[in-house]
Amino acid sequence: MSIDTATDPLLAPGHHLVDVDTRATRAQERADSWNRAISRASVPINVFSRDENGFVGKICADEVGSLRVVTIKADAQTVVRTPQLARSGGHADFYKLIFHLSGSCRISQDDRTANLQQRALVVSDTTRPYSLDFLGPYRHQVLMIPRDVLTISSDAVATITATATPVDRGAARVLSRLMRGLNSDVYDLSERNRLAISETLIELSEAVLRDALGSALTTAESGRFAEVLAYIENHLSEPGLTPGAIASAHFMSLRSLQLLFQSRNESPSSWIRKRRLESARRDLVRPGSREPISLVAARWGFREVETFTRAFKRAFGMPPVAYRNLYTTPTPLAGN
């Protein structure tokens, strides 16, 4: 049985970072189309379909600040993040909060396996191997959060991967409702609203994870931190964006700003650098874009292309040109 993607409000037509419906392609081209979409929306994975030519799937992905919101409705398939892919580097590292909406799904990571039922939430970590086995048509949404955005330690998150969490109570219920409300409206939001929603999603995600870990969420100074992050995003392309400038704009001392980031195991400078590099990485692999590296570097506050190239290679494991060539090349879909 194949899915029907035509009437799902979560997959309403619109302009997205990724918007692919395999029904719009010829049967023999669906494999490449689906893999290109998955690579752009998420991280490199291996996909196996029980019916390669008859496979039907639709995927939409949007960026909200540093986050990604991905909605998928597809036929049965198996998705594998192999050890080799997890170690390969060259891409951003994410936590995936997967909201399983319908269908039968089994997820495995860190020697744990969860059988997901309708309206369940589970977290996975893209830096380690995992697999998802969809036994039939399914629907789910994924909130992808860069690992360095959350204040919860990676060791703590590793204890709750592949563990199902109900979404009918607490912070999980609120986050689930917000996710379902985003769908195709994300593209039409102003940048300021995107940033506000991004910070809300981050705070709620931390609450969900801390609930799963059995600890209370602490939100001291979270409002001020959100304001600072929004300011950074709005001025990210300016070479003059420095910790001193940020502190001055928020009528606080440089030491207070540093302490604000220190509580998140970060520094203002490292945060700015990571966000600039992530923005540049996103532009490099944007479909159809072949901009000169120098223009991408200048757009995100790097005065010299050599400085940008060195920083990009340290962050992603390869120079910008090699990264673009690698991650805009489709990966074949394998049939079972």
Range of the domain at 59: 9-190
* Domain assignment present for 108: yes
Last residue of a domain, one of 190, 205, 232: 190
Are 183 and 244 found together in one domain?
Answer: no
Q: What is the pLDDT of residues 42-81, one digit of tens each?
A: 888 888 876 666 788 999 898 888 899 999 999 888 889 9
**Nearest-angstrom CA–CA distance, 322 and 309:** 11
Tell me the CATH number at 105: 2.60.120.10
Cβ atoms 159, 121 nearer than 8 A: no
* Domain assignment present for 130: yes
Are 167 and 20 found together in one domain?
Answer: yes
**Which 8-state DSSP code applies to residue 51?**
S
Task: Report yes or no on whether pTM surpasses 0.75.
Answer: no
Q: Is 222 helix (H, G, I), strand (E, B) or coil?
A: helix
**Nearest-angstrom CA–CA distance, 91 and 110:** 21
Tell me the CATH number at 228: 1.10.10.60
Are 185 and 244 found together in one domain?
Answer: no
- Which range, 186-190, 256-260, 285-289, is most confident? 256-260
What are 167's two structure tokens?
Answer: 């979404």
Are 157 and 250 found together in one domain?
Answer: no
Are 59 and 132 found together in one domain?
Answer: yes
What domain count does the chain have? 2
Element (H, E) at 144: strand 138-146
Q: What is the pLDDT of residues 1-52, one digit of tens each?
A: 344 444 444 444 445 678 889 888 887 777 778 877 887 888 888 888 766 6
